[in-house]
Amino acid sequence: MTALIIDDENLARTAIKNMLVNIVNAPTIVGEANDVKSGVELIEKLKPNLIFLDIEMSDGTGFELLKQITHINVYVIFTTAFNSYAIQAFKFSAINYLLKPIAREDLAEALAQVHARYLQNDNASKYMLQTLISNHENTDSKTHKLVLADKDGYIIKSLNSIVRLEGQGNYTNVVFNDGSSFLSSYSLAHYETTLEPKGFFRIFKSHIVNLAYVTRYSNNDGGIVIMSDGTQLRISATKKEQFKTLFS
């Protein structure tokens, strides 16, 4: 794999290059840029497989750069200081990100994930980036899209199509409003932090529900949540009061 580093801090670019030494399957760095304009030019010229991309730069943002290269199939690892809104967007789009100061172990893990996708030789990265840009520009979170991954690839679904999620060990079964489902290779805990700010709620250790699809709450059997598809789900005793507040 070949890679570019696009960051307006020279020390940050150097740190990444130094940490790549001795990392298995590390990409070959073929260029560096310190702003959006020169970054786009290098991407167009060199067609790298991967970009290490900062969010805030002197002449714009990493999001603005991505909008100019949507025709190119390239993987991206964002490098950023803590930015909760941006990180939320990355999780929705299954985009890798690293928090500064970058830890070598985190870099190695992100690269391993990207390398596995690269070996699949598909166009997943293009769709993931398009989803990221779309969500970033769309202020209505109900129409945001979520990238769901399994061992074979990805699907992209609107949040308002998801009825509920059920944890199955390290996997999550995602149920949609058309009756179909998808077994994701991410755990339920991953989706809890991603979805709860968007109208979802974890009612039990194995269940997250979209509050928009809850039709009824019953006090029977210690507390039952009834979904629009007829599914009846138990609610944890510790979650009841918070749920009632949200559902009322």
Classify residue 211: in a domain, yes or no: yes
Same domain? For 169 and 47 the reply is no
pLDDT bracket for residue 82 (50, 70, 90): low
- Read off the pLDDT of residues 116-152 as tens digits, 9 standing for 90 and up: 888 876 677 877 888 888 888 887 777 789 989 887 7
Domain holding 121: CATH number?
A: 3.40.50.2300
Residues 129, 163, single domain; the answer is no
Asked if 150 and 185 count as a contact pair (C-beta separation under 8 A), the reply is: yes
Q: Indicate whether this model's pTM tops 0.85.
A: no
CATH number of the domain residue 232 falls in? 2.40.50.1020
For residues 11 and 98, state if they share a domain. Answer: yes
Q: Would 150 be classed as within a structural domain?
A: no
Determine contact, residues 26/111, Cβ cutoff 8 Å.
yes
The least confident of 58-67, 129-138, 177-186 is 129-138
**Measured CA distances, 100 to 12, 14, 88, 129 (Å):** 9, 13, 16, 21
Q: Are residues 54 and 14 located together in one domain of the fold?
A: yes
Give domain status of residue 145, yes or no: no
Q: What percent of the chain has pLDDT over 70?
A: 97
Residue 166 is assigned to a structural domain of this protein: yes
User: Does the pLDDT at position 227 exceed 80?
Assistant: yes
Domain span at 182: 157-247
pLDDT number for residue 206: 97
In a domain, 148, yes or no: no
Do 10 and 130 lie in one domain? The reply is yes
Mean pLDDT estimate for the chain? 91
Does any domain span residue 142? no
Residue 33 · residue 10 · CB < 8 Å: no
Task: Please report which helix (H) or strand (E) contains residue 20, including its range.
Answer: helix 10-20
Do 72 and 25 fall within a single domain?
A: yes
The Cα–Cα gap between 91 and 194 comes to 7
Residue 110 shares a structural domain with residue 9: yes
In this predicted structure, the answer to whether residue 233 has a pLDDT above a threshold of 80 is yes
Asked if residue 143 belongs to a domain, the reply is no
What number of other Cβ atoms are within 10 A of residue 157's Cβ?
A: 16
Count of domains observed in the chain: 2
Q: Are residues 98 and 196 in the same domain?
A: no
Residues 121 and 165 in one domain: no
Same domain? For 66 and 170 the reply is no
Same-domain check for residues 51 and 106? yes
Does residue 146 form part of some domain?
A: no
Same domain (yes/no): 16, 46: yes
User: What would the two tokens of residue 61 be?
Assistant: 């943002």
Distance of alpha carbon 113 from alpha carbon 239, whole angstroms: 35
